[in-house]
A and B are shown apart, each in its own frame.
Chain A
Amino acid sequence: MSSPPAAPPRPRPVVNAWSRPFWDAAREQKLLLQRCGDCRAWIFYPRIACPRCGSDQLGWQPASGRGTIYSFTVVRSNAPSAFAPLLPYVVAVIRLEEGVQMLSNVVDCNPDKLRCDQPVEVVFRPLDDEFTLPCFRPQAGSGSQS
């Protein structure tokens, strides 16, 4: 029996210039979202123009960091190579209070007790010196803290 090959490094986000403020803020443990200066829509992920009205008058504003789990899954096996050492881990679609959705990981939780529509709050997990991922954990009292 040969030992399994070492896992490749975790993939880093491939970043566009206009989303750089999001990742810079995440490194400072802040969740920023774009907001349209014309129609006031909250925007995620970052765009070059407002997907709702087409305006290019976009600014950045802090988000509440609170939301709910729209859906989730606990990855038990057959993960991409870079994620094999992290098993089990939780992938979830989060609906933020601002009305936008994002993919993330739910951490600091008992994965078996997560449920749809459960309230969560942002928590930051460094990936390397350049990138920090916005992850989420159950809000206090929502029933599935570890």
Chain B
Amino acid sequence: MHPRRGRSAIVGIGEVPTGRFPERTAIEGALQAAQQAIADAGLRRSDIDYVMPTGTLFSFQFGNELATARLVEELGLPHVSSNCQVFSGGSSSTNALRVASALVETGRARCVLFVHTDKLGTGVTAQGGIDLFSTAGISAEWEVPFGQHYSTVAALATTRYQHETGCTDEELSAVCVSNRKWAELNPHAFFRTPLTIAEVMQSKMLSTPLRAKQSNMLFDGAGAFVVTAAERARDLVQRPAYVLGEGGAVTHFVYSQEPDLTRFGWAAAAREAFAEAGLAPADIDVAEIYDSYPIYQLIAFEELGLCGRGEAGGLFLRGETWPGGRIPCTTDGGMLSKGHIGAGGSVSLLIEAARQLMGKAGARQVPGARFAVETATGGTYFDAQVTILGTEIP
């Protein structure tokens, strides 16, 4: 048995709705989510000894407040030994879980509280969001001067992937439809009305072949989770979400240096995570796949081994990823339908993975879910991070 398998667990989760909430400040969202997570874990405020905020994009000043212990003081946590930010853009959730797991497994911390909050829906203008993301994580010397931004980044992967696999625009649009089916069941999601493939394919062209409804939109949101060692987790809650396996690969900084825009590092990351977990892709009951654009959901699905190369589009088109389908995917609606909240995009997915395993997913609960895989990636998809959680330790 792998020495790290199942030695830590997520024991509490908290989240506020994603959307446009001009009256809800970023700190308010963070505090609500953190209080929920502590209560959900059955902990007292005095049990939290490590606070791990992640990066906030809408305000440099506010982000620094979280890095310098504002949460500890506002929450009134009396026994915190460390307040330390862990931030890697969109993969912050998974990287934070990895750091938190290492801390609790070695006894360096007992209960780690991770918190994300951002205000990209009402804290910046629409064009301000585009401009912010035309520089965040994009090389100022080698790509910004050529007009690279997040739509072109996704479009470049999509064009090449379609060229190599024959994936159709209809299949790409089917990813958006699948995520919307789940969002319809999620009260925390922003887009909750039914969506059709035709609506996606008729939406405004952004950067070929990428259309507006194949692009995420930016919103306000916040989430939190608590990580502790497995032996302690069993005493705290009925169904901890054990961390069974983690794997990662960093493949580029400058996007155009990525050697394979149709694969990235997912296969290596997944091999590592599945080996650590002692599981195979066929064992997965629910897949929370990072979906800032549909192309990344298709690529990750295939590279994780959930289906063969070029087959993912068909799965989404046939509804196998929908509620009631064979392999439920991105069950909170994802960034495409729940909404993109900055580094919180994958925090949502990690919380949702834990929520499904804890049996707390309400109308969208996947019955009997035992094993979940979650993926996350930061910047211009510079890394591939894979986490496998479970209700039991194989």
Measured CB to CB, the residues of A under 8 A from B are 10-16, 19, 45, 70-83, 86, 89, 91-93, 101-105, 115-117, 127, 131, 133
Contact = CB atoms under 8 A, between A and B. Distances in A.
B208 interface: yes
27 contacts: A11-B144, A12-B145, A13-B140, A13-B141, A45-B254, A70-B160, A70-B261, A71-B159, A73-B151, A73-B152, A75-B147, A76-B204, A76-B205, A78-B207, A79-B130, A79-B149, A81-B130, A82-B147, A83-B147, A91-B146, A93-B156, A101-B257, A103-B256, A105-B146, A105-B147, A116-B160, A117-B163
A107 to B, nearest CB: 11
Nearest to B142: A45
Contacts of B208: 73-74, 76
Interface string B170-209: 0000000000000000000000000000000000111111
Contacts, number: 114
Given A11-B144, A71-B261, A76 B207 contact: yes
Given A73-B208, A74-B208, A80-B130, A89 B147 contact: yes
B156 A71 contact: yes
Interface of B: 127, 130-131, 134-135, 139-149, 151-152, 155-160, 163, 204-210, 212, 254-257, 259, 261
Contacts of A91: 146-148, 152, 155-156, 207
Given A13-B140, A102-B256, A81 B127 contact: yes
A103 B149 contact: no
A104 B142 CA distance: 9
Nearest to A51: B257
A14 B205 CA distance: 30
B299 to A, nearest CB: 13
Nearest to B154: A73
Contacts of B131: 80-81
Contacts of B205: 76-77
A15 B144 CA distance: 12
A71 B207 contact: no
B172 to A, nearest CB: 14
Max chain B CB contacts within 10 Å: which of A19, A77, A78, A79? A78
Contacts of B212: 78
A72 B162 CA distance: 12
B261 A78 contact: no
A76 B208 CA distance: 7
A115 B163 CA distance: 9
Contacts of B158: 73
Contacts of B207: 73-76, 78, 91
Given A70-B261, A80-B131, A104 B146 contact: yes
